[in-house]
Structure 1
Amino acid sequence: MSIIICTIFLFLLNVSSAFAFTFPKPSLARQLSESETSNATNSCSATGNPIDDCWRCDQNWKDNRKNLADCAVGFGRDSTGGRDGEYYTVTDSGDDDPLNPSPGTLRYAATQEQPLWIIFDRDMVIKLKEDVLVKSYKTIDGRGNNVQIAYGPCLTLYKVSNVIINNIYIHDCVPAARSLGGGYSDGDGISIFESRDIWIDHCTLEKCYDGLIDAVSGSTDITISNNYMLNHNEVMLLGHSDEFTGDRDMRVTIAFNYFGQGLVQRMPRCRHGNFHIVNNIYREWEMYAIGGSANPTIFSQGNVFIASDNQFTKEVTKRENAEGDDGWMEWNWKSEGDEMINGAFFTPSGNEDSPSYAKMSSMVARPASLLEITHPSVGVLSCQNDQPC
């Protein structure tokens, strides 16, 4: 037992050290020493993370940015983002006129009709007046700079396809009225409505008014990977409502993420669809980790669940159903190869051998034990030009 506790302790120290360098805030970004920066990069040996192994060892990644589009896994793997378009460099962090955005701003680039691969010319904090409604075939690529979207409304994907969001720190998002078409944004970090072929990778998200990432209203073919999420209550909502059956075809892969300190619930909360939750690390949730209603299919595979010392929050799972209704026992929820630490437990249900699991296996899982000896590199990356990232 003492050996196990020691191993877990060292593992958590490694994770904390990794986050110290992959999660720079503005006041720290310019203070990182050369030795600290080198700790944020891979040694460029295979990590077993197919996304990172695909591109991060290329010291010319800056000139080969679009190769990232070939590295996705899971249900969102077909997203091309702005691969087939030109590069567009954001040079202006402002957002003075949402109806007539100035060239050089993120809003101007993200709302163009043609495919674009959007990059940034320097570190910047972008405070939006309204949420940006990102158009189809866009990549928002923050690699190489400390790019934050914060302290205002954030990003919305509405009736679009083929969007990639990579290496952006999204935090303190709030609701706001929209000038065009009326209504309000929800205050999510990233809101996905009626959209498909979406990939969100290596972002850090925290402290938003509503969800960090929500996908609803018939959205599907989504991968959420390598993100660091922390300090938030309702983390991810996948599925509009119990009554909205249009989400039955939703397919989402949640892979290689770190659900860190200060998270309460919804990692994710699922309705109706099919959810492959694979090779993530969950640390000390305050209510539950994975929940759902309306008969979603959930395949939890190769994850590490580290419960807190609170005896009332050991269970990973939570079902939302009418009081006295035991229909949830027929829902297909399965845990395979997960590591349960400090009393964590997963309550399975349904048919363990259901063909639905084969149908929704979106990628190959690594053994959860490997996550305990190789600390993850998650969230925003401190990529340096002409070096492996």
Structure 2
Amino acid sequence: MANVPTSPIIFLCFLIHFTSLAVCFPSQHAELVVRDVQRKLNASRRNLGYLSCGTGNPIDDCWRCDADWINNRQRLADCTIGFGKDAMGGKGGRIYIVTDSSDDDPANPKPGTLRHAVIQDEPLWITFQHDMVITLKQQLVMNSYKTIDGRGASVHITGGGCITVHNVNNIIIHGIHIHDCKPVGNAMIRDSPNHVRIWEMSDGDGITIRGSKHIWVDHCSLANCYDGVIDATLASTAITISNNYMTHHNKVMLLGHSDSYVQDKDMQVTVAFNHFGEGLVQRMPRCRHGYFHVVNNDYTHWEMYAVGGSAAPTIYCEGNRFLAPDDPSKKEVTKHEEAPESEWRNWNWKTEGDLMLNGAYFTQSGSAAASTYARASSLSARPSQLVGSMTMGAGVLTCKKGSRC
């Protein structure tokens, strides 16, 4: 390495963790630094038995380089990280192929429909025979141990509901478009092969998670729903929301039912590698009571704020890229909701390694001690300078048989 300066100051700088390398070396070395970071990350993944495609996104590097993904679909379940890492979905179950896009009778769904698949008692890995738009009459109520896997088809879920994950566990939702969902309900809906009942009005979320655990929502594209695009409430926990592309929506993501619902104090949610895109206003996410790791996301648009909350949640923002809007009154990333400063200044909100662009700033509060964030730490963050490459494939992927997604 003859071209590397040998002065003591430069040598000391070289020994600093790779997140600081870009400061020490001139811009012409940036590509070398990124390659070195990726090499180290990929080596660590191989040590865990994973394949690697070199993106630095640990979920995608786990499975996307497999050109035979169509015959190895269930390997996806081994790639979950974060608080939802134990979500099995339908792993080990049979493949159920949806052939019928209709939703004519939510109380008695036809075999071959998505609704018929998601209510079964057995583990199922649900795929789609061809491109389809599924316009729901009522909310789609899921049973435990299910994977909805949209790879290989363009699948849109829209209309009434949309997806309800209620008092169940082990759910994976991957690779589908979810949009234009609206409140429906007070109707008979079958939620298992042997049980049908009246379900009250839904909130109009894209995905509603209530009282559930071991949930993973990955590589979905979500937009323009009545309430939230993804809401998790009522003591739900062990959730990872990753690699999604969210656009054109007001209240994006609510994590925690209400300030008075203290059962949410044990909620743990990882929000990672998502792209929060155009037309978004607020709640990316809005948190209550629990522990939230917001890590390596790309925030390119917000109209009010990006990350907020109330009721003393612990929020650990790490390695994100925040691009503030041009409006000088909307530069703040954070919003401490429904409390005076004398109260919220004790809430544990921390930024570490975040990239703040166009005047973005984060108002920290509470303790700075690392131990405070132990329950809000779910994975190792990558440098924020790599967020662009890690989130480039956020949202629904184009996956064709015989080639990588």
TM-score by length of 2: 0.84
Tell me if structure 2 keeps the 8 A contact 1:321–1:328.
Answer: no
Letter in 2 for 1:349: S
Is 2:285 the partner of 1:268?
yes
* Residue 376 (structure 1) shift: 1.5
Aligned-partner SS, 1:345: coil
* Residue 262 (structure 1) shift: 0.3
In structure 2, the residue matched to 1:209 is 226
In structure 2, the residue matched to 1:252 is 269
Is 2:137 the partner of 1:129?
yes
In structure 1, the residue matched to 2:69 is 61
Q: Among 316, 336, 343, which residue is 1:327 paired with?
A: 343
Is 2:87 the partner of 1:70?
no
In structure 2, the residue matched to 1:343 is 359
Aligned-partner SS, 1:68: helix
Q: Among 372, 377, 380, which residue is 1:364 paired with?
A: 380
CA distance in 2 between counterparts of 1:239 and 1:353 reads 24
In structure 2, the residue matched to 1:242 is 259
Is 2:149 the partner of 1:141?
yes
Tell me if structure 1 keeps the 8 A contact 2:243–2:391.
Answer: no
Tell me if structure 1 keeps the 8 A contact 2:264–2:288.
Answer: yes
Q: 1:297 to 1:158 in 2, by over 3 A?
A: same
Q: Among 186, 204, 211, which residue is 2:203 paired with?
A: 186
* Residue 373 (structure 1) shift: 5.8
CA distance in 2 between counterparts of 1:243 and 1:210 reads 20
Tell me if structure 2 keeps the 8 A contact 1:115–1:138.
Answer: yes
Tell me if structure 2 keeps the 8 A contact 1:332–1:354.
Answer: no
CA distance in 2 between counterparts of 1:356 and 1:374 reads 28
Tell me if structure 2 keeps the 8 A contact 1:237–1:268.
Answer: yes
In structure 1, the residue matched to 2:170 is 162
Deviations 1:73-112 (A, max 9, x none): 0000000000021110000000111000000000000001
CA distance in 2 between counterparts of 1:181 and 1:95 reads 17
Deviations 1:212-270 (A, max 9, x none): 00000000000000000000000000000000000000000000000000000000000
CA distance in 1 between counterparts of 2:212 and 2:257 reads 13
In structure 2, the residue matched to 1:278 is 295
CA distance in 2 between counterparts of 1:272 and 1:133 reads 26
Is 2:326 the partner of 1:299?
no
Tell me if structure 2 keeps the 8 A contact 1:156–1:190.
Answer: yes
Tell me if structure 1 keeps the 8 A contact 2:218–2:242.
Answer: yes
Counterparts of residues 59-138 of structure 1 (less than 5 Å): 59-138=67-146
CA distance in 1 between counterparts of 2:219 and 2:400 reads 15
Aligned-partner SS, 1:330: coil
> Which protein, 1 or 2, shows the higher relative CO under an 8 Å CA cutoff with sep ≥ 6?
1
Q: 1:292 to 1:374 in 2, by over 3 A?
A: closer
* Residue 321 (structure 1) shift: 2.6
Tell me if structure 2 keeps the 8 A contact 1:54–1:71.
Answer: yes
Deviations 1:332-388 (A, max 9, x none): 100000000000000000111151312321001000012246662110001010101
Q: Among 220, 223, 226, which residue is 2:237 paired with?
A: 220
CA distance in 1 between counterparts of 2:119 and 2:319 reads 38
Letter in 1 for 2:113: T
Q: 1:335 to 1:88 in 2, by over 3 A?
A: same
Tell me if structure 1 keeps the 8 A contact 2:56–2:390.
Answer: no
* Residue 206 (structure 1) shift: 0.1
Ranges in structure 2 where 5+ consecutive residues have no aligned partner: 1-26, 28-51, 189-196
Aligned-partner SS, 2:217: strand
In structure 1, the residue matched to 2:304 is 287
Aligned-partner SS, 1:308: coil
CA distance in 1 between counterparts of 2:124 and 2:370 reads 42
Tell me if structure 2 keeps the 8 A contact 1:201–1:226.
Answer: yes
Is 2:394 the partner of 1:378?
yes
RMSD: 1.3
In structure 1, the residue matched to 2:329 is 312
Tell me if structure 1 keeps the 8 A contact 2:240–2:269.
Answer: yes
Count, aligned residues: 346
Aligned-partner SS, 2:344: helix
User: Which of these two proteins has the greater Rg computed from alpha carbons?
Assistant: 2
* Residue 325 (structure 1) shift: 5.1
Tell me if structure 1 keeps the 8 A contact 2:207–2:229.
Answer: yes
CA distance in 2 between counterparts of 1:372 and 1:63 reads 30
* Residue 151 (structure 1) shift: 2.9
Ranges in structure 1 where 5+ consecutive residues have no aligned partner: 1-6, 8-43
Deviations 1:166-204 (A, max 9, x none): 000000001111323241111000000000000000000
TM-score by length of 1: 0.87
Letter in 1 for 2:381: A
